[in-house]
Every structure is written in C-alpha cells, then in structure tokens.
C-alpha cells in the first residue's frame, strides 16, 4: 500500500473548540494519520469512501444529535456511524458524538434531569476492554445537557446519579459522554469561549480550572489507555484493509 493510500481515522468535528485533543495524540503516537471533516451544514456532503479510513471519531458540539433541520449534515453522520459499526470498523464518540452513536444504532435521546458541567464522579457499571476503568470509578470532566438510552445489545460501562449512561459499547463502537480528550490547552480555550461558559459564574469557572489542575494526572492516564486501545483497534482494521 502506498503512503497516499494509507488508511486514516476520520474525525467529524462540530465546533472549532471541540477538538480531538488527546484522541489525536494517541493516533499520532500509533502512526495513524487523521482527517478532520465538518459537514454539519451540508445536506449532501462529499464523503470519503469507506475503504479510505480505518476508524471513525465523532466529536462533541453544542447542537443536539437530532437537530437535522438546523444541521442537515447530522443525517450523514448517523449513516456513517451505522455503516461503520456494521462493518466492524472502530468508532469513538465523545459527548454529542456519544449521543449520535447511540441514536444511530437505535437508542433514544432526551434532555437530562439537569446539566452536568464540571468535574464529577462516574461509577463503573460493567468492565469492558474498550474503556479501562477501575472498579471505584473516577472523577471526570462533564459538559452536557442531553442524555441517551442505549440501543438493544449495548453494554453500559459507566454512569452517574444524574446520567445513567456515561459510557457504553456496542459492537465496534465506544461512546463517552464525558471528556477524556481535553488537554490543558483545550480547557483554556473552552473557558474563554462564550458559548461554553454562558450561564456559568466566575466561581464555577475557577473551580473547573482548579479541579482540572488537581485531577488531570489521573484523567490523562485513563485517556491514554482508552485512546491508545482505540488506536490499536484502528491499526488492526487498517491491516485488514491492506490484505
């Protein structure tokens, strides 16, 4: 296979500040190229052939997973997710991406009881190789309003009291409602982006920043383990494409 035809991981991005961060770092460390696309406003986006990419990442964003009228490209994203899972291609979704995966595969979307913004503890529900999580759970960064119910056949991996599905696996897909991908630079961007901090008090913003400084070492280790495992699955799929 020539360098130009090397399979890459396709990353669907929905907002400039919702970057792949540590996901992309793990893919780069594994030697896997990436391609970032934003197709939200396109009714009929020009999409790569399935044989061109060995994994799919669906990032977060401020819109809803079913906001098809305002963001017609979301329909194409749902189709991409479903097709990728049917082909056993590795798929990873974060926040909105987690919700898109769930709905595309038959789950439901609704408003949560209350927003989850800032750091909070997740509990492990089931062990799963896609998401290495200790039995005692961990503190992670949350930033969402909507929640999902999982499609039939999915495994719920983590939860909080407010959100019953914080992580799930279905076939080749992993959905994470929380944000392991956020690096210090991305957090700084979030906290200086009006759309992200709207409605938050200065004290809340300070607490998020302080909590990140305290908890990120642990989160970074789990992020590396989670995203390195995803990269390994993508590399394995790429080898299969080459044969």
Q: Which residues are the active-site residues?
A: 95, 179, 181
Judge residue 49's burial from the number of C-beta atoms within 10 Å of its C-beta, 0-12 exposed, 13-18 middle, 19 or more buried. Answer: exposed
Residues 6+ apart with CB under 8 A from 22: 180, 181, 182, 183, 220, 223, 224, 227
CATH number at residue 33: 3.40.50.880
Please check the confidence at residue 1 and state whether its pLDDT lies above 90: no
Q: Tell whether pTM > 0.85.
A: yes
Mean pLDDT of 48-69: 97
Instruction: Give the number of other CB atoms < 10 A from CB of residue 195.
Output: 9
Please check the confidence at residue 3 and state whether its pLDDT lies above 80: no
Count of domains observed in the chain: 1
For residue 192, the enclosing domain spans 3-242
pLDDT tens digit string along 177-230?
A: 999 999 999 999 999 999 999 999 999 999 999 999 999 999 999 999 999 999
């Amino acid at each position: 296979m020539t360098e130009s035809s090397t399979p890459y991981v396709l990353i669907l991005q929905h907002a400039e500040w919702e970057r792949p961060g540590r996901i992309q770092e793990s893919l780069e460390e594994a030697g896997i190229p990436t391609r970032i696309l934003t197709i939200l406003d396109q009714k009929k986006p020009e999409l790569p052939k399935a044989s061109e990419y060995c994994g799919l990442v669906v990032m977060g964003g401020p819109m809803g997973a079913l906001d098809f009228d305002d963001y017609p490209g979301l329909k194409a994203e749902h189709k991409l997710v479903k097709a990728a899972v049917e082909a056993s291609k590795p798929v990873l979704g974060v926040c909105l991406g987690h919700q898109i995966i769930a709905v595309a595969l038959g789950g439901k979307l609704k408003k949560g009881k209350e927003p989850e913004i800032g750091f909070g503890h997740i509990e492990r529900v089931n062990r799963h190789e896609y998401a290495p999580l200790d039995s005692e759970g961990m503190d992670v960064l949350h930033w969402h309003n909507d929640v999902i119910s999982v499609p039939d056949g999915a495994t719920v991996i983590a939860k909080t009291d407010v959100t019953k599905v914080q992580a799930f696996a279905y076939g080749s897909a992993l959905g994470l409602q929380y944000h392991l991908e956020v690096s210090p630079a991305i957090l700084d961007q979030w906290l200086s982006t009006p759309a992200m901090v709207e409605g938050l008090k200065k004290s809340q913003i300070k607490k998020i920043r302080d909590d990140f400084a305290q908890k990120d070492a642990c989160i970074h280790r789990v992020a590396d383990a989670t995203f390195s495992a995803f990269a390994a699955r993508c590399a394995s799929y790429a080898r299969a494409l080459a044969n």
